[in-house]
Structure 1
Amino acid sequence: MKRELEKTFDPAAIEAKWYPYWEDNGLFRPHRPDAEPFTIVNPPPNVTGSLHIGHALDNTLQDVVIRYERLRGKDALWVVGTDHAGIATQMVVERQMEERQDKRTNYSREEFVDKVWEWKHESGGTITRQLRRLGCSMDWSREQFTMDPHFSAAVTRVFVDLYNRGLIYRAKRLVNWDPALKTAISDLEVENREVPGHMWHFKYPLAGGETYTYVERDTDGNVTLEEERDYISIATTRPETMLGDGAVAVHPSDARYAAIVGKFCEIPVGPKEHRRLIPIITDDYPDPDFGSGAVKITGAHDENDYGVASRNGIPMYRLMDEVASMRADGAPYAEASAQAMRIARGEVAPDANAVDALNLVPDEYRGLDRYEARKRVVADIDAEGLMVMVEDKPIMQPFGDRGGVVIEPMLTDQWYVDAEKMAVKPLDAVRSGAVEIVPKSWEKTFFNWMENIQPWCVSRQLWWGHRIPAWFGPDGKIFVAENEASAGELALDHYQSEAGRKLRVEFIDAKSVSVAFREIGWVGSVCDVGAQPVDQDTVTLRRDEDVLDTWFSSALWPFATLGWPEQTELLARHYPNDLLISGFDILFFWDARMMMMGQAMTGENPWKRLYLHGLVRAADGAKMSKSKGNVVDPLGLIDKYGADALRFFMAAMESQGRDVKMDERRVEGYRNFATKMWNAARFCQSNGIGASQTLAAPAASSAVNRWIIGEVVETLAELDKAMADLRFDAAANAIYHFVWDQFCDWYIELVKGSFDEETRTVAGWVLDQILVMLHPFMPFVTEELWSKMGARADYPLITAEWPQPAATVDPAAKREVEWLIGLVGNVRAAKNELGIAPGARLEAYLPDPSPATRAIIERNGPAIERLARLGGIRFEPAPEGAAMQIGAGDANIIVPLEGVIDIAAERARLAKALEAAQKEAKSLAGRLGNPAFVEKAKPEAIEKARADHAHHTAEAERLAAALARLG
């Protein structure tokens, strides 16, 4: 039964009606146990998040795919959920505490985690509600959260398994330390920015006042400087790190310093009586042509220095605490400095934990902020006359993308995944084609990163997250297990034989550990803090305080969301997934790591295809940012134009990974497109056209009906090919042009006034095919029209069948209708060019038509008269006089103009306009051909000049054609 469509298309009312209907009736995953499965997983947004324009693009593309495959009859599953977002969520909750003059450390770890869960239950569902507004047809009945019990169990299982296989290990390495968040972060979470800075040049006096002859030469070997020096000069942008120097390095080929290699020099800061001496070594890292050619090596606070120190066995001394203030712990400076000297001379072995325990910050600097310490160090060195000079220069500084402060490279104990080994199979998968990356151009980037991958630091110094399942024994032995009971068994097995008698295990909470260990997490090892001998009857185990990097758990998303490690029916049916759609910006954060984990834990690739889309940028191509004020709120666009319009814009603009430029006018244009289709459906309904009763195309005898059926067939083929190739823009444009051009602009116009039973049947069938083909892109308006056009055997459009026309293109009908379309279009264009009123009825002549053309004209006389406004086409010579000629197929139709327009005046007008257009086009061509303009002008100025040139060139061509029509 048909229900009359409202006169006005109201997106908001339709969206509010249909989404709850789909979800409440379980239509996002209809029961199809015998159908071919199709599976995608949603990149889980942060539980703290809200819908931004990037989410709108990413989720629109996924929804287009899942609705398309669902309509094709597949058992389509779109896994949805949110990520616990360790750092981001803990930040949100702690900021709320600060607003109440409260803080995390006022609570136990368990109490704080309970507060985070409270926040999650009350405020953590914002983005999932917003995804519904976008129309995302996710299986909400199986919504996942990375801290759900079953998911947490999977994370623990993976960690333990990888540890037992030697693919996870604990090591002291340099990490990016975020002093604001008080945790290590990954390289991918660091933003390098150029900021104003300084380069300080200092003298490091040689030990014992020793001197050497310093000689500089030019490129020809001539001596340009020769002097006796009792120091070696180094340059640094971070003077505060001098306190932790382990050596000074020069290049092996640098003859200037050959005489002092192997000798010691003095760090020129701190109490004179306790100043440390450090060796002068050679390494390939220093550049003899940069600065003095000598570099200080502070392995615990610089990535390059870390490499030099590691290669040369140079001790690495950590200077700062968790907030990047100079360390205040440990023995007095005099004692620490003396021990460091013994290590430098080789008198004491440089054990990593013992070295880390040494605080080489002079007593007067201890506890100072790193930048305050910098000022003090520079001032003290300068006062002693050991500063050579200071340069102003821009420097690159690393900032944490969340904490917003300068990152401090820091030597700490962390947990690592052996990413190099785990990258082997993913690399093979992409090389062999087992995993296809679309667009293919991203493969090179993927290979480059994976082939040079570094160990993956997976521990974070947070309270919110998956706590690392590792326990430390009294002697520093680590026991990794899925629970306390298993850890206890491992500990008993280890210590029982050593003790020679029965022991029991006691688990000690972190609160019983020293303040330094509890708050910093990596100062010393466990055995250094509250250690106890093993020969007691009780063995105490302390659990690792750290949690896992959020990307570690989300890397399990494709299989853990399906029930792994349990071998569930869902897992067997839907893993591996078919496709992953993600932004290119998380290729290494997430996509590559899913490939590693998928292969490591299941032996299979997590999906068969990976589609990487671009970013959504501002209209001028700039990256969106709050500071620039150019961020676009997708919810605001939905409020204004409807979700369908925004979705269609996203799909139509997504061109194989290229960035999308935001253009609100186009969003408005797609809202107008939905309105046009709405009005076309209303017109059909008012003329007795309703729902089709068949999947196959109905029988048709008239050319126009046979033609539109063929257009459906061609559009369907074009759409299917585009979707197979993941060309979202081509798919959207195929259905757009069919609906707007073929159906609304031509078919409806051609059949208007002649709605016989055949035409009503064909028109109803075609409209049904449109609704089905357009549904993945515009689900709301299509579902509403589907429901209003007639009885549907109680099934909504979301579960309809994809078109199966069982028809072919009729060449004769296509030729006939395209001839009519060509004629009408050319007549309308000619009238517009010559300033003739659109409704003016003109006479036309075709003296010698071909039999085929004559037959078309004779069959379509009323349509030609109505649409082209021609008073018939006479098959005879045209009268003498001015006339315009209009092409249509093989015909050259003559339309007399005497008495219709002032020929001379029109010719003069066109000639003048043509001259102006040609002049502008020539001027712009000259500007664009000038290298000075192209090289120096702003990109937007060049783009505008090119657009203006194209416009004036096209205008000149149009005017020239109009003049030619006048003869």
Structure 2
Amino acid sequence: MDKTYDPKAIEQRWYDDWEQRNLFAPASGSGPAYCIVIPPPNVTGTLHMGHAFQDTIMDVLTRYHRMRGDRTLWQPGTDHAGIATQMVVERQLNQEGKTRHDLGRDAFIDRVWEWKAESGGTITRQLRRMGASVDWSRECFTMDDRLSHAVREVFVRLHEDGLIYRGKRLVNWDPVLHTAVSDLEVLAEEEQGSLWHMRYPLADGSDSLVVATTRPETMLGDTAVAVHPDDERYRHLIGKTIRLPLTDREIPVIADDYVDPSFGSGCVKITPAHDFNDYAVGQRHDLPLINIFTEDAQINEEAPIAYQGLDRYEARKRIVADLEAQGLMERIEPHKLMVPRGDRTGAVIEPFLTDQWFVRAEPLAKPAIEAVEDGRIRFVPDNWKNTYYDWMRRIEDWCISRQIWWGHRIPAWYDEDGNIFVARSEEDAKQQARDKHGRDVPLRQDEDVLDTWFSSALWPFSTLGWPEQTPELKTFYPTNVLVTGFDIIFFWVARMIMFGMKFMDEVPFHEVYIHGLVRDADGQKMSKSKGNVLDPLDIIDGIDLESLVAKRTAGLMQPQKAASIEKATRRQFPNGIEPHGTDALRFTFCSLATTGRDVVFDMGRVDGYRNFCNKLWNAARYVLMNTEDQDCGVDGGEVTLGLAERWIISRLQATEQEVDQHIRSYRLDLASQALYEFIWNEYCDWYLELSKPVLQTADDALALRGTRRTLVRVLEAVLRLAHPFLPFITEEIWQRVAPLAGVQADSIMFQAYPVADESRRDTAAEADIAWVKSFILGVRRIRGEMDIPPNKALPVLLQQAGDDDRRRLSEHRLYVERLARLESITVLADGEEAPESAIALVGDMQVLVPMAGLIDKDAELRRLAKERDKARADLDRARKKLDNPSFTEKAPAEVVEQERKRVASFQSALQRLEAQYEKIERL
């Protein structure tokens, strides 16, 4: 093995080997089936920290079940991302001075497919870098012919069952994209606006009402003013009419419980065509729907001519001015409100009345709710089922049509009379029209495409071949677990359950593992605007400071914002990001994978787990140097297992049981912690050290063989235990260790996952090693506290040694003498006095190190006094800085916090030095 662990030298090589040999395909045999479908990333996307975290979890589960002998399939694929992909290609056309309309629909779709072939595989290449062991031979794309066929089939069947219809309803409308968008594509953020209080006169001239609104331009579409039925102030006005200002219309005063009497004046303008809540009020009171906007959010011909053609915000200004001129503007107040904006365009989203296709959701929701209630589907953590219930029990019909070109075109055709023919193909539609009219009639297909979430809702069964009854569908449906974030429980999880129950008469998965959001070290959500986004590949490969700054400030138009992000980047990563490798990043994610809670990502953890990988690498080198070309006892023959061997084998059983239990319960954080503790502390720090006295001095061939066999067998088992978490380094080391352990196979990923053997637990050996460790650590602590050189052999006295202490000393003297570097060990008789000594406790026994001749007491006190004085001076300076209001009030918060940490550090150091001074002084 190379002396230095270099992930670049092994990771890509091993992944290419695995993929070329198609090792990620499900194994044949009679083992139970295990399947995960990947949440399909957008084909336009690049790997971000959320993807990397989520995919690490899925890969750990996949590799674990593959090693358990399950027929394991991790189904990959990407989503066509209708709006996002169309925008990418349209931007390319704009740079050429063209629009999609210049090309026409068919040519534009061809252009999108060209882009997909050339640039659409970025994220799948990045998934490979993360070690994702998906079956690439089964990779799907939501626009593939096979999946498109499934989409059409589902649409037609739902329509035949009366669960899909076309109707005019309010939708979220992006006036830049000219399409309906889903709630997930709407970002609502608090912004500063105004609240306009407008006076509406009664038609009989007797009085007027004041209504408050954040959108005065929509008044042109008002069809009522509502008051609460129990509001004494306005009860006498219910049923009267109001002359709507700036128009020639009269509108009624109505009573509705929706009105909050305490807000504003207690009177609410009702605009059913431009507000979702108002739409519901309008339906209850049979109010007319007056749409005053065009697709561009300009005022249309339904409004008075004076405002027609104006942009909505220009219309707002003119309407406010006209109301003020007529004395009808009561007042204008500053007001904070939530403003919905399109996530792609940043444009303010309008509730817009338009003809769209809808899925009738309530009949589909009922069996989907029951599947969770009766336990056929389990949420992990369990509390997320309440979020699911809350949405499903209030579910509304789902708008599934989008006014773009890229996507699954709606399989509906129209004749000249507007009759609709939903069919699996144009020929089927023509036949329906022929049956209706008794002759051939011209048809045109609906221009709209389906919401991307529609095809994604089929993902667990469409990727396995449905509507064909394929062997894969029979074997792997229902899938076992869905790993996803909480933010798409509504948009994807619920819809997959509804469609799975409808078309497969079975749940799509048995468990839903909900993971948290990846946040930065300060707990902030990662976003480009904050400049705190980390690219997983930068952590894997490393990146220099200038390139990192350029990435973080790319696309920021405001110079001040860019300068702020650059400054923060230089402070956070003054040397850029060093290479860490995939395994270190994966293990970091696993260590943070508590169920359901957000993940606070700290680069310090990745540094630590890079060191962990290096520790494992060096441990393997030690084992190989002491076992290669040696008799390791794996081919039979007698061996003697000493205390250290019996102990590490026993501890391995406990670790195997613990790791397996935690993986099964989706506690990868606890599983990785157990692995880390065993590999770093027990195997590397203790067992390898305990093996040295035997390897270096023993002349007993059976003991040597027993130690060598244990070294390689425990390491081989540990590599299998860690493989799902650290796939690359474990494969590389295992290929060298496995033959020494008597194992012959192509890859570690097909070796059995370790199963604990309770019969190999040895509590007596564990107790004896605990005594040995306590003895050695006690002597080492004395060395550190007294500043005694580590290579100086020490005499040790034992006081109050019991029978077990004497037995253990007799049996395990070699370990404590060698590892504690002792000159002699003397057991004092009861009542025998000891010289002035430093003391460590091992149970009730005292380990004494006589100080005479070991240190120069006066010189040591002078050294400690000097260090103590320096620590006091450092502490005083830091405290004065914090006591200065001009510093604490003006310095950045992170700088002040850093200074507080310095104070705490100086205090701790001073306390240690004072305690040590007092201890030496007493000698």
Q: How high is the TM-score relative to the length of structure 1?
A: 0.84
User: Counterpart amino acid of 2:306?
Assistant: E
What is the CA–CA distance in structure 2 between the aligned matches of 1:152 and 1:740, rounded to whole Å? 51
- The structure-2 alpha-carbon separation of the partners of 1:693 and 1:722, relative to structure 1 and needing over 3 Å to count, comes to farther
2:495 corresponds to: 593
- The structure-2 alpha-carbon separation of the partners of 1:480 and 1:698, relative to structure 1 and needing over 3 Å to count, comes to farther
8 Å contact 1:32–1:74 — kept in the other structure? no
2:323 corresponds to: 381
- The structure-2 alpha-carbon separation of the partners of 1:722 and 1:945, relative to structure 1 and needing over 3 Å to count, comes to farther
Residue pairs, 1:328-347, within 5 angstroms: none
- The structure-2 alpha-carbon separation of the partners of 1:253 and 1:920, relative to structure 1 and needing over 3 Å to count, comes to farther
Does 1:503 find its partner at 2:436?
no
> Once the 2 structures are TM-superposed, how far is the Cα of residue 441 of structure 1 from its aligned partner?
2.5
> Once the 2 structures are TM-superposed, how far is the Cα of residue 902 of structure 1 from its aligned partner?
5.2
1:480 corresponds to: 422
User: Counterpart amino acid of 2:587?
Assistant: F
Cα RMSD (Å) of the superposition? Answer: 3.1
2:525 corresponds to: 623
Which residue of the other structure, out of 153, 156, 161, is the alignment partner of 1:157? 153
- The structure-2 alpha-carbon separation of the partners of 1:826 and 1:446, relative to structure 1 and needing over 3 Å to count, comes to farther
- The structure-2 alpha-carbon separation of the partners of 1:942 and 1:851, relative to structure 1 and needing over 3 Å to count, comes to same
1:464 corresponds to: 406
**Which whole-Å deviations, capped at 9, do the CAs of 1:557-583 have from their partners, x for residues lacking one?**
111100011111111110101111112
* Residue aligned with 2:441, SS: strand
2:818 corresponds to: 866
What is the CA–CA distance in structure 1 between the aligned matches of 2:318 and 2:610, rounded to whole Å? 63
Aligned residues: 857
- The structure-2 alpha-carbon separation of the partners of 1:478 and 1:644, relative to structure 1 and needing over 3 Å to count, comes to same
Instruction: For structure 2, list consecutive stretches of 5 or more residues without a partner in the other structure.
Output: 542-578, 696-703, 883-887
1:565 corresponds to: 467
Judge which range, 315-324 or 467-476, deviates more. 467-476
8 Å contact 1:48–1:124 — kept in the other structure? yes
Residue pairs, 1:667-816, within 5 angstroms: 667-689=606-628, 700-755=640-695, 756-789=704-737, 791=739, 793-804=744-755, 806=757, 807-816=759-768
1:89 corresponds to: 85
What is the CA–CA distance in structure 2 between the aligned matches of 1:29 and 1:890, rounded to whole Å? 58
What is the CA–CA distance in structure 2 between the aligned matches of 1:718 and 1:695, rounded to whole Å? 30
What is the CA–CA distance in structure 1 between the aligned matches of 2:467 and 2:764, rounded to whole Å? 61
8 Å contact 2:27–2:72 — kept in the other structure? no
Does 1:199 find its partner at 2:195?
yes
Which residue of the other structure, out of 239, 242, 246, is the alignment partner of 2:216? 239
1:552 corresponds to: 454
> Once the 2 structures are TM-superposed, how far is the Cα of residue 12 of structure 1 from its aligned partner?
0.7
* Residue aligned with 2:233, SS: helix
Which residue of the other structure, out of 276, 284, 291, is the alignment partner of 1:303? 276
> Once the 2 structures are TM-superposed, how far is the Cα of residue 455 of structure 1 from its aligned partner?
1.7
Does 1:883 find its partner at 2:854?
no
> Once the 2 structures are TM-superposed, how far is the Cα of residue 162 of structure 1 from its aligned partner?
1.6
8 Å contact 1:907–1:963 — kept in the other structure? no
Judge which range, 424-433 or 902-911, deviates more. 902-911
1:127 corresponds to: 123
- The structure-2 alpha-carbon separation of the partners of 1:42 and 1:952, relative to structure 1 and needing over 3 Å to count, comes to farther
2:559 corresponds to: none
8 Å contact 2:633–2:639 — kept in the other structure? no
- The structure-2 alpha-carbon separation of the partners of 1:630 and 1:86, relative to structure 1 and needing over 3 Å to count, comes to same
> Once the 2 structures are TM-superposed, how far is the Cα of residue 781 of structure 1 from its aligned partner?
0.9
User: Counterpart amino acid of 1:803?
Assistant: P
Residue pairs, 1:829-844, within 5 angstroms: 829-844=781-796
1:420 corresponds to: 362
- The structure-2 alpha-carbon separation of the partners of 1:835 and 1:441, relative to structure 1 and needing over 3 Å to count, comes to farther
What is the CA–CA distance in structure 2 between the aligned matches of 1:773 and 1:951, rounded to whole Å? 42
**Which whole-Å deviations, capped at 9, do the CAs of 1:19-52 have from their partners, x for residues lacking one?**
1100000111253232221110110000000111
* Residue aligned with 1:504, SS: coil
* Residue aligned with 2:694, SS: coil
> Once the 2 structures are TM-superposed, how far is the Cα of residue 913 of structure 1 from its aligned partner?
6.7
- The structure-2 alpha-carbon separation of the partners of 1:195 and 1:19, relative to structure 1 and needing over 3 Å to count, comes to same
User: Counterpart amino acid of 1:386?
Assistant: L
User: Counterpart amino acid of 1:586?
Assistant: I
User: Counterpart amino acid of 2:855?
Assistant: I
* Residue aligned with 1:255, SS: coil
What is the CA–CA distance in structure 1 between the aligned matches of 2:75 and 2:428, rounded to whole Å? 33
What is the CA–CA distance in structure 2 between the aligned matches of 1:203 and 1:886, rounded to whole Å? 86
User: Counterpart amino acid of 2:218?
Assistant: T
**Which whole-Å deviations, capped at 9, do the CAs of 1:417-438 have from their partners, x for residues lacking one?**
2222222222222222221111
Does 1:58 find its partner at 2:58?
no
Judge which range, 721-730 or 436-445, deviates more. 436-445
Which residue of the other structure, out of 842, 846, 853, is the alignment partner of 1:892? 846
> Once the 2 structures are TM-superposed, how far is the Cα of residue 858 of structure 1 from its aligned partner?
2.2
What is the CA–CA distance in structure 2 between the aligned matches of 1:698 and 1:162, rounded to whole Å? 71
Structure with more contact order per residue of length (Cα contacts < 8 Å, sep ≥ 6): 1
- The structure-2 alpha-carbon separation of the partners of 1:760 and 1:414, relative to structure 1 and needing over 3 Å to count, comes to same
- The structure-2 alpha-carbon separation of the partners of 1:47 and 1:842, relative to structure 1 and needing over 3 Å to count, comes to same
8 Å contact 1:697–1:709 — kept in the other structure? no
8 Å contact 2:693–2:815 — kept in the other structure? no
What is the CA–CA distance in structure 2 between the aligned matches of 1:604 and 1:939, rounded to whole Å? 53
> Once the 2 structures are TM-superposed, how far is the Cα of residue 7 of structure 1 from its aligned partner?
1.3
8 Å contact 1:472–1:478 — kept in the other structure? yes
Percent identity reads 47
User: Counterpart amino acid of 2:241?
Assistant: F
Does 1:251 find its partner at 2:228?
yes
> Once the 2 structures are TM-superposed, how far is the Cα of residue 769 of structure 1 from its aligned partner?
0.7
1:341 corresponds to: none
> Once the 2 structures are TM-superposed, how far is the Cα of residue 492 of structure 1 from its aligned partner?
3.6
8 Å contact 2:800–2:844 — kept in the other structure? no
- The structure-2 alpha-carbon separation of the partners of 1:694 and 1:474, relative to structure 1 and needing over 3 Å to count, comes to farther
8 Å contact 2:49–2:536 — kept in the other structure? yes
Does 1:666 find its partner at 2:605?
yes
* Residue aligned with 2:483, SS: strand
**Which whole-Å deviations, capped at 9, do the CAs of 1:811-845 have from their partners, x for residues lacking one?**
22212222111111222123223333333322111
What is the CA–CA distance in structure 1 between the aligned matches of 2:636 and 2:604, rounded to whole Å? 38
**Which whole-Å deviations, capped at 9, do the CAs of 1:571-625 have from their partners, x for residues lacking one?**
1110101111112222222112111111111111111111111111111111111
User: Counterpart amino acid of 1:280?
Assistant: V
> Once the 2 structures are TM-superposed, how far is the Cα of residue 196 of structure 1 from its aligned partner?
1.7
- The structure-2 alpha-carbon separation of the partners of 1:915 and 1:312, relative to structure 1 and needing over 3 Å to count, comes to farther
**Which whole-Å deviations, capped at 9, do the CAs of 1:128-180 have from their partners, x for residues lacking one?**
00000111111001100001111011111111112222222222221111112
* Residue aligned with 2:627, SS: coil
Judge which range, 198-207 or 815-824, deviates more. 198-207
2:374 corresponds to: 432
Which residue of the other structure, out of 175, 182, 187, is the alignment partner of 1:179? 175
What is the CA–CA distance in structure 2 between the aligned matches of 1:432 and 1:700, rounded to whole Å? 55
Q: How high is the TM-score relative to the length of structure 2?
A: 0.87
What is the CA–CA distance in structure 1 between the aligned matches of 2:259 and 2:859, rounded to whole Å? 81
What is the CA–CA distance in structure 1 between the aligned matches of 2:522 and 2:293, rounded to whole Å? 44
**Which whole-Å deviations, capped at 9, do the CAs of 1:679-699 have from their partners, x for residues lacking one?**
111111111248989799996
1:575 corresponds to: 477
**Which whole-Å deviations, capped at 9, do the CAs of 1:873-910 have from their partners, x for residues lacking one?**
21225654321221224422222223323558878959
User: Counterpart amino acid of 1:312?
Assistant: H
8 Å contact 2:299–2:307 — kept in the other structure? yes
8 Å contact 2:457–2:492 — kept in the other structure? yes
8 Å contact 1:178–1:185 — kept in the other structure? yes
8 Å contact 2:871–2:906 — kept in the other structure? no
* Residue aligned with 2:371, SS: helix
- The structure-2 alpha-carbon separation of the partners of 1:486 and 1:380, relative to structure 1 and needing over 3 Å to count, comes to same
8 Å contact 2:778–2:847 — kept in the other structure? no
User: Counterpart amino acid of 1:782?
Assistant: T
